[in-house]
């Protein structure tokens, strides 16, 4: 269960602008760029926390995607 009380258990809409403009790889690059812009050298840690949140919420597909992003940031 998420510790964020405002987070809904209902499926949330995706950002269709990013997904429709290019492939999943392009969307992943945008996420990585934004993480670097917001967190600098701690971007991998921020992505890891997002992945843990997805795991605890039972969102396996999102967890796997974020785990892949984390591995890319750590390498």
Domain presence at residue 34: yes
Domain count, the chain: 1
Domain presence at residue 35: yes
**pLDDT tens figures, 45-67:** 999 999 999 999 999 999 999 99
More confident residue, 25 or 45: 45
Domain presence at residue 50: yes
Domain presence at residue 66: yes
- 71 in Cβ contact with 48 (< 8 Å): no
pLDDT at site 13 = 53
How many CB atoms neighbour CB 70 within 10 A? Answer: 20
Domain presence at residue 2: no
More confident residue, 33 or 19: 33
Domain presence at residue 62: yes
CA distance 66 to 28: 9
Domain presence at residue 10: no
Of 20, 57, 50, 60, nearest to 69 (Cα)?
50
Q: Residue 32 belongs to what domain range?
A: 22-74
Integer Rg of the chain from CA: 13
């Amino acid at each position: 269960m998420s510790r964020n009380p405002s987070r809904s258990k209902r499926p949330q809409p995706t950002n269709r602008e990013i997904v429709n403009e290019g492939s999943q790889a392009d969307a992943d690059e945008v996420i990585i760029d934004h993480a670097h812009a917001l967190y600098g050298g701690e971007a991998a840690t921020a992505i890891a926390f997002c992945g843990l949140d997805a795991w605890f919420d039972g969102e396996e597909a999102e967890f796997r995607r974020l785990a892949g992003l984390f591995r890319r940031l750590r390498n």
